[in-house]
Amino acid sequence: MNHRVLFALLALGFFACSTTTAPDERGSFLDTGTAFEYYGVAIVTSIEPENGAHTVCPDRLIVRFTFVPNDPSVVSDYFYPWYEDRGQKLVVADGYGPPVRWAIEMGISVMSVHRCTRIETYDWPGCTGECIPFPIQFDFPDMDRTHYYEYCD
């Protein structure tokens, strides 16, 4: 095979693999190409007190939800299909449950529905093996989870 043709095929393959897909209702690759976002909603299934003495916020809640993708067929595309969409815990910036007043202000109640994105990280730059502690994350784009501490009572 002509070396120019081989080079062109290799270059075409490289660019085809390194581009990101455009977002649609199903999801999109993140800019790094190392994760995929699945768009959908979270339905809150239960709320209970956290009762953790280890936290600076004594009024935290355990908020459990089920993620429902916009397109149910994407579930078969999950990189981590064993990581269920049911029974997930909504956490704020420090990994604990949200304070009561914050949850109220965000409109969180049992059976409330919130825009949500399932993010699957499958390749971290410089990472080999099991170095990703949480390969699945759930993002709530309509909730500011960084200033939760202002709501601690």
Query: Would you kindly state where each structural domain of the chain is located, as residue ranges?
Result: 24-151
Local structure of 84: helix, strand or coil: coil
Amino acid at 33: G
**Residue bearing tokens 């499958």:** 122
Amino acid at 114: H
Band (5; pLDDT cuts 50, 70, 90): very low
List the one residue out of 137, 49, 33 whose CA is nearest residue 93: 137
**What does residue 35 show for φ and ψ, rounded to 5 degrees?**
-150, 160
Band (1; pLDDT cuts 50, 70, 90): very low
Predicted TM-score (pTM) of the model is: 0.73
Within the chain, where are the H helices? 3-18, 100-105
- Cβ(117)–Cβ(40) under 8 Å? yes
Among 46-60, 61-75, 114-128, where is mean pLDDT lowest?
114-128
List the one residue out of 91, 92, 79 whose CA is nearest residue 29: 79
Q: Which two tokens stand for residue 103?
A: 């949850």
Q: Is pLDDT larger for residue 22 or for residue 14?
A: 22
Q: Is the predicted pLDDT of residue 28 greater than 60, yes or no? A: no
**Interatomic CA distance for residues 25 and 119, integer angstroms:** 14
- Cβ(103)–Cβ(61) under 8 Å? yes
Per-residue pLDDT, averaged over 94-117, amounts to 92
pLDDT at 110: 98
Q: Is the predicted pLDDT of residue 142 greater than 60, yes or no? A: yes
- Cβ(141)–Cβ(117) under 8 Å? yes
pLDDT at 132: 52
Q: Is the predicted pLDDT of residue 17 greater than 50, yes or no? A: no
**Interatomic CA distance for residues 41 and 115, integer angstroms:** 4
